[in-house]
Each structure stands twice: as C-alpha cells, then as structure tokens.
Amino acid sequence: IPTNLISITDGQIYLSPDILQKGILPAADVGRSVSRVGGKTQLPAYRAVAGDLRLSYSQFEELEAFSRFSSRLDDETRATLERGRRVREIFRQPQYEPMRVAEQIAVLVAVTNGLLDSVSLPNLKAAEYRIRQAVADRLPDLCERIESGAVLAEEDLTAISRTAQEAIAVADT
C-alpha cells in the first residue's frame, strides 16, 4: 500500500499465510504492518510492557530466518532465538479462550523479563496458565487497576514479576 494511502487511513495490518500455517492467530506480520494510531489507543499497561516487544519480535523473526543458514550460533544469538520462540508461543491463543487484559500484561511481563526462558516450550502453556491464575488470585486490586486503564508503576511491575516467578517455581517442584 502506498505511503500516502497509509497516511489517509490509520495504517494497515499485514496478514501472513506463513504465520497462519504456523498456527499463530491473528496471523499479523508485525514487521510489515503499519499503524499511525498505534500505542495511542492502547491501555497504558500495554504501552509500559510491550513497548520494545514489537521491535524485538521483528528482530527475532529476521534472526530466525538467517539462522537457518548457519549451523554455528553464539550463545547470545541462541538465547535471543529461544526467547523469541517463547514470545511466539505466548502469542498463540486458542479459539474461544479470551484472556483478560491483566492476564495478558502478566504473561508479557514474564516473557519480556526472561522469566519463561527456563521453561521448555511444551510446558510453556501450563506455566502461562499458572501465571495468569496467580496474578488473578494474589493481585486482584492491581488487576482491576490495569483493566481500568491505570498507569503501571515500577512497584506494580515488580509485584507482577515476583508473582510470576513464584508461580513458575511452584510448577518446577
């Protein structure tokens, strides 16, 4: 879509058949999608947590494509790829299973802070579920504030991280 048309509209969402074949819904290609409105329409909690997520996920996808041609990867590249795979996995949402905003924020905090790096991919959905349950059960006031559009303070992010860590640790025992 030409740039002048994008500026007339609010942008474009590019849906990718390759992403759809991987089972990721919605199959939006974040590298090719464009938004003029973007973060202005998001709740403040999303902006606080997912600010760098779009860029890092786009970089992961490029790195993943490049890594297919290389058999030798350094530790940092391998770690970036592993975290990116976990981000992609948490983006998968089963049909007819809506997730509250506060639960989404909690899972995004966990994955962006590397709390899920040690969880194997087959066990990721179970860990994600435990995080969602723990945050809903232990931080109901914070969940309510997130849902109402409150700005997250640093202590809120710390509380979410601590609760997520505890939920993951319980699962590992």
What are the structural domains, with CATH classification, of the chain?
1-41 (no CATH), 44-172 (1.20.150.20)
CA distance 90 to 51: 17
Residues 6+ apart with CB under 8 A from 18: none
CB proximity list for 91: less than 8 A, separation 6 or greater: 24
Confidence band of 159 (pLDDT split at 50, 70, 90): very high
Q: Residue type at 47?
A: R
Q: pLDDT > 90: what percent of the chain? A: 45
- Looking at the predicted structure, is the pLDDT value of residue 136 above 90? yes
Whole-Å CA distances, 141 to 60, 110, 148, 158, 159: 35, 19, 11, 15, 12
Four-CA torsion 107, 112, 116, 121, nearest 10 degrees:
90
More confident call, 160 vs 62: 160
- Write out pLDDT tens, residues 85-104: 999 899 888 788 889 999 99
The amino acid sitting at 156 is D
Q: Is 54 assigned a catalytic role?
A: no
Catalytic residue among 36, 78, 85, 92: 36
Taking the CB of residue 36, how many other CB atoms lie within 10 A of it?
12
